[in-house]
Structure formats: structure tokens, C-alpha cells
Amino acid sequence: MRRRIRPPRSPARSSRPPEPVDFQTLELSVEESGIGTLTLDRPNALNAISPLMEREFLEAFDCVDADDRIRALVVTGRGRAFCAGADLSEGDAGFDVIRRALERGTEALGAEGIPRDGGGMMALRVFACKKPVIAAINGPAVGAGATVPLAMDVRLSSERAKFGMVFARRGMCPDAASSWFLPRIVGISRALDWMISGRIFDAHEALEAGYLRSIHPPDDLIPAALELARGLVAGSAPVSAAITRQLLWRMLGAAHPMVAHQLESRAILSRAEAADAEEGVAAFLQKRPAQFPLTVSRDMPEGFPWAPEPTF
């Protein structure tokens, strides 16, 4: 059994970290610098996504948001693969979407009884995360293994990584809300190429297209991801980082810059009245590192993120 972190049962104003519990398909760890690592941990199945992994993945992100020790998260895979997509070890039963949804729980069924795509639920939970998320793609990433990371803020890979959005070759169609994410990241022509052909492509093509930020020798991948994560959050206020992440992602789909102006004005007002801004200005004037007092678990502004998630 792997150790994980349980989110608090109530929003009590406590600085104590959540209590550890056990994951079966994932491992969540935290280093002293405040960087969490979430490792997909089914190496014998190439970290293929089972209904249990889907449930645990969602809960792991709840844990990350609830634990103020974690400033940023690195997601990687154990063994030679990052993620082989949906677990198809049961043959075509792997595409029994109703059964898989019921195994995840009743929340996986929409209002009309339509089973929700598990990869989509995973990607949307990443999208809603209050911490920066970095994918460290250590090996082959196929199907949902290539699409769920689209919702992460930065993607790095090993030289050994290969990618495939193979849905059309399995008689299926895109998952993980990738028809929204992928064209925004690599452009519509590249997205159509990868999705309709379903071909396998290497890390260098992924880098050239903008899917990846950088490629690393296998032994250097995790250190590079951790270094990037530390650099992202070292001097920033946790609540400000959470607000900024949500503004940037959500405004990708806004119809007019006025929407951004409205939300940014609301966010600026919330920060101007908060202790973090006072500390940030004082630290700047005194030429010292800031010690921001507010935390993501209990000090997000009222109504955040100010644009509720649509119902399924």
C-alpha cells in the first residue's frame, strides 16, 4: 500500500497537515521545499487507468488542494511508461462506459444518465486545481495518458517518451476534454493530424508542436520538473498563484476581454484588502523575502473562482 494524504473533513482553521491514508494505484509524497509528487503506480499495467485509479486521482487532487504544505505538484509514472490510457486488459469491456462509470460512483453519471468520461473528470479536476501542476512524462503516454496532461500547466518528458492519441484507431473518439485543450496548445491543424490519424509520435515532434516545454535524459527528468516547480512558487503568494492560474486557464474560453477585466478587477479588490498584499509591499520596500500569511485551504476570496463550473 502507498501512503496518501487525506483532505480535512471540515474547513477548520488549523495548520496541521492532513492525516496520511493509503492509495492502491497512486503514490503522493511531499518534499521539504513544498513540492508534491503524484506517481501513477500500476507499473505492471503500464500505469493504465482503471476505475479505481480514476477515483483515487480525483481524491489525490482534493488532498493537494487541502494541504498547504504543497505549493506545486509534479505528476509522473512509475516504471517504463507514463500511462497507457484506459485499462483494456478486459478486452472490449474496457469500453463499457456505463460499468466503468458505476464503478467510479454515482457522481460519474450526468443528469440525463449519460456516463461521464473518466478522463474528462480527471482533466477537469486538474483544471480546477489551486496549485501549479507539472507533468513529468517519463515514458510512453497513450490515449488518456496523452490527453489528461493537457490540463496540466507545463509538460516535460524523457527522451524515451512517445505519444499517441489513438482513439480513432480503437473505434473511439477524443477524451479528457482534449477537443477543448489540444487545439489551444498545439493549434487546430496539428490537433486534427494527431487525433484523426491516431499515429504515434516522438518527444521531439511533441516539443516542436508546443505540447512539451522540454525534453530530458531519463535520469534528469524528475530533477528538472522539481526544479521548475520550485522556481514557479518560490517567491509567490499561494493564494495569488491560485487566482492567477484559474484566471489564465478560464480566460482561454472567454468571448471578450471584458470578461477578463471584470474578473481581474474583482480579484484585485480581494487582494488589495488582504494581508498578503500588505506583506508583499513591505517585503519589497524592506528588500527581504516575503512571508505570505494566507493559505489556499482557508483564505481563498469569497465566491472564487467567480465562474461556477457548468453542470454536465
Q: Would you say residue 184 lies in a domain? A: yes
Amino acid 1: pLDDT: 37
Could you tell me the pLDDT band of residue 306, with boundaries at 50, 70 and 90? confident
Domain boundary among 233, 268, 289: 233
d(CA 167, CA 89): 16
The share of the chain scoring above pLDDT 70, in percent, equals: 86
Better pLDDT: 15 or 194: 194
At residue 63, does pLDDT exceed 60?
A: yes
3-state SS assignment for residue 142:
strand
Cβ distance 53 to 42 under 8 Å? yes
Better pLDDT: 310 or 279: 279
Q: Which amino acid is at 282?
A: A
d(CA 312, CA 303): 21
Q: Would you say residue 186 lies in a domain? A: yes
Q: Whole-model pTM?
A: 0.89
Amino acid 85: pLDDT: 94
d(CA 122, CA 27): 16
The share of the chain scoring above pLDDT 90, in percent, equals: 77
Q: Would you say residue 310 lies in a domain? A: no
Better pLDDT: 248 or 309: 248
3-state SS assignment for residue 235:
coil
Asked if residue 196 and residue 75 are part of one domain, the reply reads: yes
Task: Classify residue 287 by burial, with Cβ atoms within 10 Å: 0-12, 13-18, 19+.
Answer: exposed
Q: Would you say residue 125 lies in a domain? A: yes
C-alpha cell at 32: 521539504
C-alpha cell at 101: 462509470
Q: At what angle do helices 118-127 and 97-104 cross, to 10 degrees?
A: 50
At residue 96, does pLDDT exceed 70?
A: no
Asked if residue 141 and residue 54 are part of one domain, the reply reads: yes
Asked if residue 204 and residue 266 are part of one domain, the reply reads: no
Question: The domain containing residue 7 runs over which residues?
Answer: 2-233
Cis peptide before 174 (omega within 30 of 0): no
What is the number of structural domains in the chain? 2
At residue 11, does pLDDT exceed 50?
A: no
Domain boundary among 208, 233, 258: 233
Could you tell me the pLDDT band of residue 110, with boundaries at 50, 70 and 90? low
Nearest-5° Cα angle at 248, 84 to 57: 30
Asked if residue 194 and residue 135 are part of one domain, the reply reads: yes
What is the tens place of the pLDDT at every residue in 127-157?
999 999 999 999 999 999 999 999 999 999 9
Mean pLDDT of the region 77-85:
97
Better pLDDT: 308 or 235: 235
Looking at the chain, list the stretches that DSSP marks H as alpha helix, in order from N- to C-terminal side: 51-66, 97-104, 118-127, 144-147, 178-186, 188-197, 203-209, 221-233, 238-250, 257-272, 275-286, 296-299
Mean pLDDT of the region 73-83:
98
At residue 8, does pLDDT exceed 50?
A: no
Mean pLDDT of the region 30-43:
96
Amino acid 13: pLDDT: 44
Residue 86 phi/psi, 5-degree rounding, is -65, 140
Diameter over CA atoms, the chain: 64
